[in-house]
């Protein structure tokens, strides 16, 4: 039921749009007939048509198509005598159909700021990171899930995430919303688009769906040596 607007052009620039149900003159409009070789000697000629989608359409993923009915008329001098006198004219008309199609795929724009715990002398001194969000804007009507990987240094699959500095580790984790449920990458550990705190449900096509989370350093571990501890977590969207 969604529609994508598009424009047909007589050349590969936007200077000569062809309006629906309005005759377009290839011969007299800026000399396009000469430009595309319609009148350059005998033989079969090709009339190119250029199409451009109109930006701003908010549509669901899928195949979009239309069948155009094309009609054309010609009237040109088929032979020229001395003094440029036309010795005869070729006059006729024709028609054809043309299918125009476009496939829209599911995709998302993701905004995920880094998680910064700051600094502290002992693990109990780190403050939990709260109030941050992941913003995702996906194709209209798309149902999806969002996963966070275990990072580069997890103890095991689904185990505690760990930041690393040299050969030392600092365990932490990322939890759904404001709770204590770990946000992971498989099965129920993922987040469905229906659970977004802002605009839950399928993708909107415009605007973002917002997912809250919190992150904490585990305090039941021994404080590691001083250093800058880092990890990289992959966020993925699955349709």
pLDDT tens digits, 37-79: 776 666 777 788 899 999 888 999 999 999 999 998 888 777 7
Residue 33 in 3-state DSSP?
A: helix
pLDDT at residue 15, rounded to an integer: 80
Nearest CA-CA partner of 147 in 192, 107, 198, 180:
192
- List all residues 6 or more positions away from 233 whose beta carbon is below 8 Å from its beta carbon: 148, 149, 150, 151, 161, 174
pLDDT at residue 62, rounded to an integer: 95
Integer Cα distance of 231 and 239 in angstroms? 26
Tokens at 144, concatenated: 């999806």
- Residue 183: half-sphere exposure toward Cβ, Cα within 13 Å: 26
Domain ranges of the chain: 6-104, 108-238
CA 61 to chain centre: 10
- Verdict on whether the full-model pTM lies above 0.85: no
pLDDT at residue 27, rounded to an integer: 78
Is the C-alpha dihedral spanning 108, 156, 161, 190 positive or negative? positive
Q: Is the pLDDT reported for residue 123 higher than 80? A: yes
Integer Cα distance of 149 and 54 in angstroms? 38
Backbone angles phi, psi at 27, to 5 degrees: -80, -35
pLDDT at residue 125, rounded to an integer: 97
pLDDT at residue 41, rounded to an integer: 66
**If you search the block for the tokens 């629906």, which residue do you land on?**
20
DSSP codes of every residue in 208-239: -EEEEEEEEE-SSSPPPPSS--B----EEEE-
pLDDT digits (tens, 9 = 90+) for 128-140: 999 999 999 999 9
Mean pLDDT score of the chain: 91
pLDDT digits (tens, 9 = 90+) for 135-176: 999 999 999 999 999 999 998 877 899 999 999 999 999 999
**If you search the block for the tokens 């913003």, which residue do you land on?**
135
Just give the CATH number of 108-238: 2.60.40.1090
pLDDT digits (tens, 9 = 90+) for 88-102: 888 999 999 999 999
pLDDT at residue 147, rounded to an integer: 98
């Amino acid at each position: 039921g969604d529609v994508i607007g598009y424009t047909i052009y007589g050349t590969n620039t936007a200077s000569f749009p062809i309006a629906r149900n309005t005759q377009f003159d290839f011969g007299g409009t800026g000399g396009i007939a000469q430009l595309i070789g319609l009148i350059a000697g005998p033989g079969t000629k090709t009339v190119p048509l250029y199409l451009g989608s109109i930006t701003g359409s908010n549509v669901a993923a899928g195949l979009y198509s239309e069948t155009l009915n094309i009609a054309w008329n010609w009237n040109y001098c088929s032979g020229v005598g001395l003094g440029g006198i036309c010795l005869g004219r070729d006059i006729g008309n024709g028609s054809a159909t043309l299918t125009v199609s476009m496939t829209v795929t599911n995709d998302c724009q993701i905004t995920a700021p880094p998680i910064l715990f700051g600094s502290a002398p002992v693990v109990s001194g780190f403050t939990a990171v709260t109030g941050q969000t992941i913003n995702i804007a996906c194709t209209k009507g798309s149902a999806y899930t969002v996963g966070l990987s275990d990072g580069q240094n997890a103890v095991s699959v689904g185990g505690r995430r760990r930041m690393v500095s040299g050969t030392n580790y600092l365990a932490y984790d990322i939890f759904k919303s404001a709770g204590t449920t770990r946000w992971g990458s498989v099965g129920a550990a993922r987040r469905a688009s229906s659970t977004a705190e802002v605009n839950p449900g399928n993708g909107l096509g415009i605007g973002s769906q917002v997912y809250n989370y919190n992150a904490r350093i585990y305090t039941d571990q021994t404080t590691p040596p001083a250093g800058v501890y880092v990890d990289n977590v992959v966020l993925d969207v699955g349709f």
